Amino acid sequence: MGRRKSRFLRKPVEPFTVEAGLSADEVLNRMERTSFQGRSLGTARRIWEKMLGADVTIFLGTAGALSAGGMRMAIAHMIERRYIDCLVSTGANLYHDLHETRGRRHYIGSPSLDDAALAAERIDRVYDTLASEDDFCKNDEWIAAFALKLEKRPHTTREFLYKLGEYLWQETGNEGILTAAYKANVPIFCPAIADSSIGMGLSQARHRDVTAGAIDVIGDILESANIVIRKPATATIVLGGGTPKNFINQASVQAEFYDDRVGGHKFAIQIVTDVPHFGGASGSSLEEAQSWGKLSIESEKVTVHADVTLALPLLLTALETTGPEISRKRKKPEFDPSGRVLVMNGQPLGDNRFMTGSGS
Amino acid sequence: MGRRKSRFLRKPVEPFTVEAGLSADEVLNRMERTSFQGRSLGTARRIWEKMLGADVTIFLGTAGALSAGGMRMAIAHMIERRYIDCLVSTGANLYHDLHETRGRRHYIGSPSLDDAALAAERIDRVYDTLASEDDFCKNDEWIAAFALKLEKRPHTTREFLYKLGEYLWQETGNEGILTAAYKANVPIFCPAIADSSIGMGLSQARHRDVTAGAIDVIGDILESANIVIRKPATATIVLGGGTPKNFINQASVQAEFYDDRVGGHKFAIQIVTDVPHFGGASGSSLEEAQSWGKLSIESEKVTVHADVTLALPLLLTALETTGPEISRKRKKPEFDPSGRVLVMNGQPLGDNRFMTGSGS
Amino acid sequence: MGRRKSRFLRKPVEPFTVEAGLSADEVLNRMERTSFQGRSLGTARRIWEKMLGADVTIFLGTAGALSAGGMRMAIAHMIERRYIDCLVSTGANLYHDLHETRGRRHYIGSPSLDDAALAAERIDRVYDTLASEDDFCKNDEWIAAFALKLEKRPHTTREFLYKLGEYLWQETGNEGILTAAYKANVPIFCPAIADSSIGMGLSQARHRDVTAGAIDVIGDILESANIVIRKPATATIVLGGGTPKNFINQASVQAEFYDDRVGGHKFAIQIVTDVPHFGGASGSSLEEAQSWGKLSIESEKVTVHADVTLALPLLLTALETTGPEISRKRKKPEFDPSGRVLVMNGQPLGDNRFMTGSGS
Amino acid sequence: MGRRKSRFLRKPVEPFTVEAGLSADEVLNRMERTSFQGRSLGTARRIWEKMLGADVTIFLGTAGALSAGGMRMAIAHMIERRYIDCLVSTGANLYHDLHETRGRRHYIGSPSLDDAALAAERIDRVYDTLASEDDFCKNDEWIAAFALKLEKRPHTTREFLYKLGEYLWQETGNEGILTAAYKANVPIFCPAIADSSIGMGLSQARHRDVTAGAIDVIGDILESANIVIRKPATATIVLGGGTPKNFINQASVQAEFYDDRVGGHKFAIQIVTDVPHFGGASGSSLEEAQSWGKLSIESEKVTVHADVTLALPLLLTALETTGPEISRKRKKPEFDPSGRVLVMNGQPLGDNRFMTGSGS
């Protein structure tokens, strides 16, 4: 026709073609050239690869019933492979992980089961998944007993969860999120620990010994901001939103208050089902995060609007094709999360003062 | 402990484990033992396998911007492999398919593009996907020119779309939904054709010749119900909801009015993003469909709450491992959709009267 | 402090204050100064007032189970008050309206009822609402009997629905959507009539008389575009998305093809629960509509993300405070939808050719 | 017809009729006889009235950007009127409340503003709402300065927030959530305080004085459970889900562990936008909560799927017609939240041991 195509019309959509025996990697490659959330998931893999190739500290946030829903070994895998450097989680995900690491199980149910019948048999339902209330009560007691063994002083959730992972590993030798993080020296923060069964276990320890169960969640804020100040190049991967999403962003905002080298995460992936238009933090857009400085204006970012149980298995399996090689070369931050004071790359990070201008 | 486990706690969730090089088939196998929508997608594959192994007529409904979004060859694949027997679609999906079969493309864009700039360059945006308005106008004219060649009598959408697919194949020799359906003798219904650019093309034919562009959508109702009456064992796969979802169910309800052997679909899969609690048909539950008799009370069924572009590539690639073998043995209904009267398994189906008690 | 406030920080949010006895009007006034969807609903009222004050043809689109869900008299009210000029609806909304106008009812149920028990008693469930299948079958027969009385020639849905409303009024004298539109000479289009129980009634007429039940949906496209060409200043109100949303936009796009005075709707309100990021038309943003020219770049527009049953009662009751006065002065287009040819402001609009340059 | 109507078809839907000047109360009365979420909101008012008429302790949970979004005076109203007895909130809602009580404002913006431009002017966006980052930094410092004045010992969030409300009232004399709770002796818990700008302020106090900023979130668990044990008849109202929703349920579950008179909340209302099928706690159904014993099997309950900014103004304004009269007669629990130990109905509740069998 002689007429020049618009500058907007450069890269065509490639229809997905079905073939027997395709690997997850190849399926996701092909989805990357389609549209909507299929494309977004493909883009998430590319951004993750870039994160791994860059010199950044990668935060992972996990909310929703991921461990109960069969995602705990996938999260443990990210930790073990060091696809991420620091985990921020809801208490429930760590608690359900502990439940399985201790040899208990979650069970396949259905959303249409009779809840009165379940209650009568002391079975707790999470949508289509079930667990025994009695097993849960035993976990709570186990956590209480563990908490009673600790030094009678406040622990940040980071220190507490390290020691919990250590004890769990010693007791069970089983794989899971807490034990993987213990072995890989990946710090875990749980800012809303009081809103979880781990918190309930701690409260039961307190019930038995008034000097037990002291948790220093404000120390967590200082430590997490100091991780950012120590190395102001960061990235965030959010699964499900919730308190972890905001806590990771808050670390960046708080760090910037004390160190103006901090300029927001350089990369961001979020897999969420909430939407922006009701104003809640879980569904808030990554663009909105840029106004706050949580994300750098130049960041590479993608939102995948999907259930994590649907998106993560495909994403991680595809990443496993390229990720290990990229990850091998990366300069991972090295943590020692075993003591009262968190150590990063050989330097202690305060839990009682913000660092300033410490360089990377 | 000696205590018997509850009858509800029989089948444990198996945490998803990541491995390099896993096939889509294996990924989906593992997802089937997790929870939430990951499990639902795994279940969808099993139900589809059962459909293919049973002696049922399988309807597929497609709504949403699937063709523009890169899913047209996946839909064509289902037709070509005869994983489905009859397609009910929105006009847009067929139109965007025709656009690509005619050699035009959709393009990768972004939801944050400036719509005023796009409008100035006559580019139409569908979320993150773009197309040329000028190309669309040429399609409309092409459809109008085709419609002017047809006999000057009303056509059901089924007959019209067969002839459109035939002409498209003769003109282009390119693969796509319409051409695959033509070659496989799979009938296509488009009950809301007036709400689409195919309808716009037909209206432009009418503008040029007052005797052109007559479409008999009521004939479609009779034919689709007669397909069910002819063989009262049916199944439904719905991608995205919309008019196709309801039209497929309506065929079953209308058929039952004339033939009480009809008792609702035996199998149902829906992949939708809408939810039940606002009362709309797109999001309505499969349980609700049972109250209407659209679905048999004993039906096997699953809803996957996900974007089709995310779920379908994985589902179809996994199905390709087992589906061809199962499908080879199935008793597929044989259609001749080329004439004014639709023929099924050698017997003409009325477009002007409902059949009764004709047996399968 | 001496520092100037940012230009962005001009108009503060005013916290909603609760007071006994506030009118709906005052509640919505106060919501307009809050955030998120509360504010959006307040904005919708202002834009509707502007529509009524401007010289535009106002289209209303209705999808979802609005009539079954108790909204039919609210829609009838908009017609009777001439807050809108032309209705585009799904068939279900018109059918459920007819059901109640004929003296049958929908009933209050619950989403957790046992669907097998309902099916056994022939009761159809729409989320939390119930109806008798036997009553529905009688409606279908009533529609079939009516259709058999009509001249044996194709009718546009606009002509058919006018005559249906007329007959319904003569038979019952009851208020409702169809009868209000008949009395107010407001044309109704139902582009997906084949996907509804009205279509089923028409198919049953055809079953009894092969010359009955001919519907010309392509004529609807011509007529609806000619309404826009006749007066190229338009506005759109969409409740629920679906085929009506797209059909109204298509009328504008199709009109522009023949008359370049047409430049997209000047005002747009949509109350929807779908979201943009899955690519479907129901959830598509009004910004996206601007790229297509469906909406003018300068249009005033708002999306309210809410269930219509929650938003519409408050919106319409508030509008009733100011709307009648504004509406009294407006230059309403006058239709005569009674004949084969639709007449607008005294001039016949073609159903077989597009008008050009006819002025307003 | 002689045939008996089904037992399911007893109470017809009454179409909503529009009238000028209707009060919010009357609008909601009429919505109660419609369907879907309009009916759910009407039902929520009836259940709230029953709560107020029963002898129960009413918990309110608030998540999402309700204070920034204009709902803080509505929440303060519930506290002042004692429509609720105990508040569990995210930190953000309390922080944004403090921001306005201190005389700063949130501003009306738009979701389509340029976030880079906002970042350049240090303006933070929450969907369509804006605030000054500099104002926020000053709040943080103000909170830090306040925290430095407190005794150097751990405070539960309940004690800390009481003193914060007290100080805020003394300093400003302005109405808001924190000051209303202070004046009405309504305890506030903030289990995820570490994930909020209040936590950031506390961390800044710690930065200045290592002995400051100690928060005892485990004490909150004991206190909240003891509120339930003290009077095992409870009710829950949840706005938005999040940590407050779970914390309120956890109090009930934890209480039951120590006192088997506890049997779950007797009444439950939740207004949420999340859905159950992704397994997250925010969207989880009230039926599911019954399997856990969080809710009594006999409880009266309703979920309203809506944005709080849309639903709450109408709900509270309507409740104001009947609520004050009902509330006047209710036996409200009386708290003294001013000290290290929370006092309820004259009896101290432990923050270091669970009570048992204390009677109501």
Taking contacts as CB-CB distances below 8 angstroms, the residues of chain C near B37 are none
Enter the ipTM: 0.96
pLDDT for position A359: 43
pLDDT for position B3: 57
Angle between helices A72-80 and A308-329 (to 10 degrees): 10
| Minimal-distance CA residue of chain C relative to B353 | C207
pLDDT for position C357: 59
Structure tokens of C357? 């340059």
pLDDT for position D356: 79
- Contacts with C, B 118-177, CB within 8 Å: 118-119, 123-129, 133, 137, 140, 154
| CA D15 – CA C359 distance, rounded (Å) | 40
- Contacts with A, D 188-217, CB within 8 Å: 191-197, 199-200, 202-203, 206-207, 210, 213-217
H or E element at residue D21: none
Which of A159, A118, A136 lies closest to A342, judged by CA? A159
Question: Across the interface, do D257 and A291 touch by the CB < 8 Å criterion?
Answer: no
Structure tokens of D167? 């100080």
Taking contacts as CB-CB distances below 8 angstroms, the residues of chain B near A36 are 65, 69, 127-129, 307, 309-310
Structure tokens of A269? 């992936």
Taking contacts as CB-CB distances below 8 angstroms, the residues of chain D near A340 are none
What is the widest separation between alpha-carbon atoms in chain D? 84
Angle between helices B177-184 and B91-101 (to 10 degrees): 90
Question: Across the interface, do D313 and C41 touch by the CB < 8 Å criterion?
Answer: no
| CA D294 – CA D250 distance, rounded (Å) | 7
Question: Across the interface, do D305 and B278 touch by the CB < 8 Å criterion?
Answer: yes
Which of C83, C77, C84, C100 lies closest to C244, judged by CA? C84
Would you call A194 helix, strand, or coil by DSSP?
A: coil
Least CB-CB distance to C290: which of B69, B115, B352? B115
Smallest CA–CA distance, residue A10 to chain C, in Å, is 17
* Site from D1, D7, D16 to mutate, C interface, most C CB atoms within 10 angstroms: D16
| Minimal-distance CA residue of chain B relative to D113 | B112
Smallest CA–CA distance, residue C195 to chain B, in Å, is 5
Taking contacts as CB-CB distances below 8 angstroms, the residues of chain D near A246 are 92, 195-196
Q: Which chains touch B (3 or more CB pairs under 8 A)?
A: A, C, D
Structure tokens of C123? 């009761």
Smallest CA–CA distance, residue D306 to chain B, in Å, is 10
Least CB-CB distance to D107: which of C11, C23, C321? C11
C305 touches chain A (CB under 8 A): yes
Question: Across the interface, do C275 and A36 touch by the CB < 8 Å criterion?
Answer: no
B39 touches chain D (CB under 8 A): no
Smallest CA–CA distance, residue D129 to chain A, in Å, is 9
What is the DSSP-derived secondary structure letter of residue A200?
Answer: H
* Site from D43, D277, D307 to mutate, B interface, most B CB atoms within 10 angstroms: D277
Question: Across the interface, do B108 and A314 touch by the CB < 8 Å criterion?
Answer: no
CA-CA-CA-CA dihedral for D142, D143, D146, D152, to nearest 10: -140
Question: Across the interface, do D202 and A222 touch by the CB < 8 Å criterion?
Answer: no
pLDDT tens string, chain B, 360 residues long: the values are: 445 678 999 999 999 999 999 999 999 999 999 999 999 999 999 999 999 999 999 999 999 999 999 999 999 999 999 999 999 999 999 999 999 999 999 999 999 999 999 999 999 999 999 999 999 999 999 999 999 999 999 999 999 999 999 999 999 999 999 999 999 999 999 999 999 999 999 999 999 999 999 999 999 999 999 999 999 999 999 999 999 999 999 999 999 999 989 999 999 999 999 999 999 999 999 999 999 999 999 999 999 999 999 999 999 999 999 999 999 999 899 999 999 999 999 999 988 899 975 444
| Residue-wise pLDDT tens digits, C15-70 | 999 999 999 999 999 999 999 999 999 999 999 999 999 999 999 999 999 999 99
Smallest CA–CA distance, residue C280 to chain A, in Å, is 10
CB A211 within 8 A of CB A204: no
* Residues of C tagged active-site: 294
* Site from D307, D308, D316, D328 to mutate, C interface, most C CB atoms within 10 angstroms: D307
Taking contacts as CB-CB distances below 8 angstroms, the residues of chain C near A279 are 35-36
A68 touches chain D (CB under 8 A): yes
Angle at C92 between CA C117 and CA C316, to 5 degrees: 110
**A·D CB contacts under 8 A:** 238
* Site from A7, A25, A34 to mutate, B interface, most B CB atoms within 10 angstroms: A34
* Site from C118, C195, C253, C277 to mutate, B interface, most B CB atoms within 10 angstroms: C195
Smallest CA–CA distance, residue D184 to chain B, in Å, is 37
Question: Across the interface, do C353 and B250 touch by the CB < 8 Å criterion?
Answer: no
Taking contacts as CB-CB distances below 8 angstroms, the residues of chain A near D62 are none
| Residue-wise pLDDT tens digits, C317-353 | 999 999 999 999 998 999 999 999 999 999 999 888 9
Question: Across the interface, do A13 and B317 touch by the CB < 8 Å criterion?
Answer: no
Percentage of chain A exceeding pLDDT 70: 98
Catalytically annotated residue among D294, D301, D331, D332: D294
Least CB-CB distance to C280: which of B119, B133, B240? B240
User: Tokens 């359900």 sit at which residue?
Assistant: A96
CB B8 within 8 A of CB A118: yes
Task: Reply yes or no on whether D294 is catalytic.
Answer: yes
Residue C297 pLDDT > 50: yes
pLDDT tier at C2, thresholds 50, 70, 90: very low
pLDDT for position A180: 98
Smallest CA–CA distance, residue C215 to chain D, in Å, is 30
pLDDT tier at C4, thresholds 50, 70, 90: low
Smallest CA–CA distance, residue D11 to chain B, in Å, is 18
B8 touches chain D (CB under 8 A): no
A320 touches chain B (CB under 8 A): yes
Smallest CA–CA distance, residue B32 to chain D, in Å, is 15
| CA A302 – CA A305 distance, rounded (Å) | 10
Taking contacts as CB-CB distances below 8 angstroms, the residues of chain D near B35 are 279
Query: Which three-class secondary structure string do you get for chain B?
Result: CCCCCCCCCCCECCCCCCCCCCEHHHHHHHHCCCCHHHHHHHHHHHHHHHHHHCCCEEEEEECCCCCCCCCHHHHHHHHHCCCCCEEEECHHHHHHHHHHHCCCCCEECCCCCCHHHHHHCCEEEECCEEEEHHHHHHHHHHHHHHHHHCCCCCECHHHHHHHHHHHHHHHHCCCCHHHHHHHHCCCEECCCCCCCHHHHHHHHHHHHCCCCCCECHHHHHHHHHHHHHHCCCEEEEEECCHHHHHHHHHHHHHHHHHCCCCCCEEEEEEEECCCHHHCCCCCCCHHHHHHCCCEEEEEEEEEEECCHHHHHHHHHHHHHHHHHHHHHCCCCCCEECCCCCEEECCEEECCCCCCCCCCC
Question: Across the interface, do C206 and B124 touch by the CB < 8 Å criterion?
Answer: no
> How many beta carbons lie within 10 A of that of residue C3, not counting itself?
7
Taking contacts as CB-CB distances below 8 angstroms, the residues of chain C near B203 are 218, 221-222, 225, 254, 354
Taking contacts as CB-CB distances below 8 angstroms, the residues of chain D near B302 are none
| CA A83 – CA A45 distance, rounded (Å) | 12
Residue C8 pLDDT > 50: yes
C-alpha atoms less than 13 angstroms from C-alpha of C73 in its C-beta half-sphere: 17
pLDDT tens string, chain D, 360 residues long: the values are: 445 678 999 999 999 999 999 999 999 999 999 999 999 999 999 999 999 999 999 999 999 999 999 999 999 999 999 999 999 999 999 999 999 999 999 999 999 999 999 999 999 999 999 999 999 999 999 999 999 999 999 999 999 999 999 999 999 999 999 999 999 999 999 999 999 999 999 999 999 999 999 999 999 999 999 999 999 999 999 999 999 999 999 999 999 999 989 999 999 999 999 999 999 999 999 999 999 999 999 999 999 999 999 999 999 999 999 999 999 999 899 999 999 999 999 999 988 899 975 444
| CA A96 – CA B34 distance, rounded (Å) | 14
Structure tokens of A19? 């073939």
Distances (CA, A) of D37 to B29, D222, D306: 38, 36, 7
- Letter string b/e over residues C94-104, b meaning 16 or more CB atoms within 10 A of that residue's CB: bbbbbbbbbeb
C275 touches chain B (CB under 8 A): yes
A327 touches chain D (CB under 8 A): no
Which of A105, A49, A44 lies closest to A72, judged by CA? A105
